[in-house]
Amino acid sequence: MILTKIRFYRLFPIIFLLSFHTNAQDYVSIPLKEKEVKDTFFNEFIVKDNYRWVEDTNNEELNKWIKKQNKLSKKYLSKTKRKTSSFTSIDEYAYTKYDNPRKEGDYYFTHAYYDEIGAPALFYKKHLKFSSEILVDPNFISNRDKIRIKGYWVSGNSELLAYQFSRNGSDWAELKVISLKSKLHKDDHLKNLKFSNIAWKGNGFFYSTFPRESKFGKVKRQKVYYHKVGTPQSEDKLVFKRNNPYMEFEYTTTSNERFFILKEINDKAGKINVFYIDYQSSNPSIKPLFMNISYDINIIDSHKGKFIATTSYKANNGRIIEIDPKNPFVWNEIAPNYKEALLLEVKPLQDKIITIYDQSQYPIITVYDYQGKVLYNMQMDIPSTVSGFSGEPDDKELLFNMASYTIPPVVFKFNVDTYQRKLMKRTSVTFDYENIVYDKLEYPIDEKEKASVVLVHKKGIERDGSNPVLLNAYGGFGIVAKPMFDPGIVHFIEEGGIYAFASIRGGGDKGAKWAWEGRGRNKENSFNDFISAAEFLIDSGYTCPEKIAAKGGSNGGLVVAAAGIKRPDLFKVIVPVAAPLDMLRLEKYTVGPYHTDEYGSVKDSVGFFNLYNYSPYHNIHDEVNYPNMLIITAKNDERVPPFHSYKFAAKLQNRESQKNSILLRVKAKSGHYSTNNFISSIREKAHIYGFILYHLNQN
């Protein structure tokens, strides 16, 4: 099959896929009854939670209410979509022509839609000049469930590929193995994988799993196994486990498969252990490399028997070091910490290392030799994302791609000897990209520090305070936000809007310290930074409160919801997606216990009061008319259970003072990720941006 007009193919995490509503005569709230529940914390502080009963997601009364909510939101969003022509425009802008291959082993792979109704399939080819053909089609795995390919890994000899897939948005995954020569599946079918990567070693691979419990039960007791291809899962060898049910494990094998590396993370204690196996030793067995260290180390690969790693120890923005496993505390620094550039990616080759740095969303490609000499340096000239450098350590040409908010992925060949880059194929778009400009600005967040905000808009925007603005952020877990192509943003800009992304504390945009300043007891800094970004755009003449919408997903959904509840006067529209909203109950379900380092815990008094003070659900006041909101969740979200959104929407709606519309959209057969096929993703975006533009363009 020839991959030509591939339309918006990449699967992104939940961070940007949303939906929205309208107001006035089309909106009538749907009340949900309250059942009084009171919790007492620390023998004196009483907290009401009258929607606690909706945490039973099988409750018949609850599910009738959800059906009514979906019926209302569908009708409302259909009108806003039609009035703003959002579906037609976004469908047109999404119809781009591009291919984004990655080289893994001897083959090139592409994850892409091949029609509008199916899920993205996995394509491959042996040479770049060949036409791609389907290797794994999720649409044939099941005719009942929505299947999503979560990842794929090629064996060291390029003969086999292991791929994971999930059903109906679940975090639980299954794994199968396929021959890259014959395209025939092996008998291997592994189940109960969760948050698991695959690390090949010989004729098998390492993976991790958890015991299956209730749908929203706590995720705990991770175990790492080794599976030999051709054997049943029941015979897999247990490699690593701990008695502490909330220990996290990360693991990899080096590119030459000499070393197996396992990192053990204890977030509550703030400690890390690192172990390794050297398969060239006379007695390969697991050995400690570092024990009880309080800083992070990530081993990327090995080179001449030594580990190549990155660390934030005495390096806020990260540095590259070489570690001799025989003397692990004596490090050879290859690349130093840079004050203004954040280390993102490291690709060790035979005689050099390729790196990607970030400077406020401006990527920098730098090449070093193993003695630390800079051989090449290049910075992109617009806020964008550079990723990839896919290929093997001895390849002479690697592939990397560049993308941005209004630029679909552009793929380059990169010669590792001459450092010449060659555009593989031009990316065709259906809009005038030359009429769109990017601005990076800084705004104050306290007396000493500043945060950055990137603005994307058409040329000639006037600062008359009347421009519609869509403000977005993530701000959590030290994650560095990366610009990705979104045809909805193009539509918003073409309609005269300004898209703004704020790099707030809690994210990793300015290194480890920046992340720490928005974590745990400092979490409220994230919301204050977001509020400051809105105030800055108003004070600078770009917009006004009646023209600002805020959207975010997952932790970003918490950010926009908390900001909207704290400062309802600043925003016209708030769209939280898959967001944690009841922060006092977060750690009781699914992966919540793993995130007490990020948010805090109700088990200690300081943590409790901190959570209570910013929890969106608990800070809704009866007398306030909050901004128009579209609250989006999915029935199968096993990261942030959907009842966070149910409780938040119900409490907002059940108040006489609430005049602006509060819509709840609940997706079936979906989880903490995006929609499953092309047309549904376009429809989802059309609802979102139609809703936003409808409200922001009202007089």
Q: What is the pLDDT of residues 580-636, one digit of tens each?
A: 999 999 999 999 999 999 999 999 999 999 999 999 999 999 999 999 999 999 999
**Confidence class of residue 268 from pLDDT cuts 50, 70 and 90?**
confident
Provide the total of helices (H) and of strands (E) in the chain, helices listed first. 10, 38
Q: What is the mean pLDDT of residues 396-425?
A: 94
CA 657 to chain centre: 35
Averaged pLDDT, 170-178: 96
**pLDDT for 1:** 29
- Token pair of 210, please? 């958890």
Phi, psi of 562 (to 5 degrees): -65, -40
How many CA within 13 A on the CB side of residue 618? 21
Task: Using alpha carbons, select from 689, 672, 685, 684 the residue that is nearest to residue 13.
Answer: 672
- What pLDDT does residue 674 have? 64
Q: Which of 428, 566, 406 is nearest to 486 (CA)?
A: 406
Percent of the chain with pLDDT over 90: 86
Question: What is the tens place of the pLDDT at every residue in 30-40?
Answer: 999 999 999 99
Interatomic CA distance for residues 427 and 501, integer angstroms: 24
Instruction: Label residue 425 by pLDDT band (50, 70, 90).
Output: confident
By mean pLDDT, which of 98-102, 479-483, 594-598, 640-644 is the weakest?
A: 98-102
Q: How many CB atoms lie within 10 A of CB 438?
A: 20
Mean pLDDT, range 680-690, rounded to an integer:
93
For position 699, what pLDDT does the model report? Answer: 64
Per-residue CA distances from 263 to 236, 509, 530 (Å)? 21, 24, 34
The pLDDT value given to residue 501: 98
Q: What is the pLDDT of residue 469?
A: 98
- Number of neighbouring beta carbons within 10 Å of residue 579: 26
What gap in Å lies between CA 509 and CA 505, rounded to an integer?
A: 8
> Looking at residue 73, what DSSP letter applies?
H
125 pairs with which residues across the strands?
108
Distances (CA, A) of 26 to 74, 523, 648: 11, 37, 21
What's the angle, vertex CA 166, arms to CA 161 and CA 169, rounded to 5? 145
Q: pLDDT at position 616, please?
A: 98
pLDDT for 300 beyond 80: yes
The whole-number pLDDT of residue 438 equals 97
More confidently predicted of 5 and 367: 367
3-state DSSP assignment of residue 553: strand
Q: Is residue 162's pLDDT more than 70? A: yes
Q: Classify 140 as helix, strand or coil.
A: helix
Amino acid occupying residue 583: M
**Residue 213 pLDDT > 90:** no
d(CA 167, CA 9): 19
DSSP 357-403: EEETTEEEEEEE-TT--EEEEEE-SSS-EEEEEES-TT-SEEEEEEE
How much is the pLDDT for 4? 32
What is the residue-averaged pLDDT of the chain?
93
44-102 per-position pLDDT tens digit: 999 999 999 999 999 999 999 999 999 999 999 999 999 999 999 999 998 776 678 99
CA geometry: angle 258, 320, 475, nearest 5 deg? 110
pLDDT in tens, 370-391: 999 999 999 999 999 999 899 9
Lowest mean pLDDT segment, chosen from 206-220, 247-261, 366-380, 656-670: 206-220
Bigger pLDDT: 178 or 10? 178
